Amino acid sequence: MLGAKGKLFILDNFIWIIDILVYFAFAIYRPVMFSASLVRWIIYASVPLSLLVFAESIILITGNIDLSISGVCSLSAMATAALFIRYGHWGIFSFIPPILIGIACGAMNGFLTVNLRINSFLSTLATSMIFTGGTLLISSYALYGCFPDYYLLLGGNEEVALTFLISMLLILWFILARTQLGSNLYSVGGNLLSSKMMGIPTERTLFYAFIMSGFLCGLAGIVYTGYLKSVPPSLASNVNLLPAIAAAVMGGVSLLGGRGSIINAYGGTLLSTIITAGLVSLNVNVFVRQMIFGIVIAIAVFINNVREKIRDKIIAPKI
């Protein structure tokens, strides 16, 4: 019989079991999915979305939500492309504009949510419209051909992208699990009032969370540009928003805040990518795929609720 720690470990890491089961389910119908090259490609294809999932996970851990991650990603990518077209690129400094734009957008979200005390759902809904409109104002058609080869490496080269993914996973895991900032993020999401009473700078912590989210979205803009070799206006749509939230939740990040692992959040990202690859391999209609993802999101929320109830039963003191 498993003890409480064993049960909690399985509960917290259940996403990896689901990943394996879903992958094998698709592979039964499409044996080609058993090939090592396809497994590697699926992991590579998950890299762009994973950065948005990480950005959303950090905000969810604090007990908030960020609806602007797609807008931040697209604005940083499109604005940088426009700068390259007009002024050319600047060597290693070419990576700075999208990151600075992402951080600035994160700071705007943080200011509205923390300083003006607007609910994060409403504040980021508003900024999502602003960032998306800004993207389309810059260009309503795809921009391409203006990017230097080195700028496209993070998303366009498989080995570089996989190395970058592993590096980001380790860095974010270390920040969340081994630093005071990470501890504060979990504490604020778990109980805001108690965090204030313990002397934790809650407002500063929340602001830093939005800065981190913006930074990751800026990086996502770079990776998506390399992956697609262009910046299409469709990048400004919310096509990546709901899968990012669903992936984080399926990976065990609590919608109530205070719980979640960045490693398991990536497990949720991988599940989303596996489902996409499996449906494409089965030639499922794109609109049907959208419906299926809607069902997946509903299931993700249900699983999150069930997980929370089971966890509460496990850790509840026995009387």
Confidence bin at 238 (pLDDT 50/70/90) = low
The yes-or-no verdict on residue 310 having pLDDT over 90 is: no
With 0-12 CB in 10 A as exposed, 13-18 as middle and 19+ as buried, what is 187? buried
Q: Percentage of the chain surpassing pLDDT 70?
A: 97
* The pair of three-digit structure tokens given for residue 195, joined into one six-digit string: 């965090």
Residue 23: predicted pLDDT: 92
Give domain limits for the chain. 4-315
What ranges make up the beta strands (E) of the chain?
143-144, 230-231
Percentage of the residues of the chain whose pLDDT score is greater than 90 = 62
Identify each DSSP E strand in 56-192 by its residue range. Answer: 143-144
Q: Is the Cβ–Cβ distance between 248 and 260 less than 8 Å?
A: yes
Kindly report, residue by residue over 194-217, the tens digit of the pLDDT. 999 999 999 999 999 999 999 999
CB atoms within 10 A of CB 98: 29
The chain-wide mean pLDDT, for the chain, equals 90
Q: At 101, which amino acid appears?
A: I
- In the CATH scheme, what architecture does the domain 4-315 have? Orthogonal Bundle (1.10)
How many residues are there in the chain?
319
pLDDT tens-digit map of 138-177? 998 999 989 999 999 999 999 999 999 999 999 999 999 9
pLDDT reading at 63 higher than 90: yes
Strand partners, 143: 231
Alpha-carbon Rg for the chain, nearest whole angstrom, is: 20
Residue 218 has pLDDT above 60, yes or no: yes
Evaluate if residue 4 carries a pLDDT over 80.
Answer: no
Give residue 12's pLDDT. Answer: 79
Highest mean pLDDT pick, 32-36, 116-120, 279-283? 116-120
Confidence of residue 134 (pLDDT cuts 50, 70, 90): very high
Q: What pLDDT score was predicted for residue 301?
A: 74
Residue 318 has pLDDT above 80, yes or no: no
Please determine, for residue 239, whether its predicted confidence score (pLDDT) is greater than 70.
no
Q: Where does the pLDDT of residue 309 fall: very low under 50, low under 70, confident under 90, or very high at 90 and above?
A: confident
Would you state the pLDDT for residue 290? Answer: 80
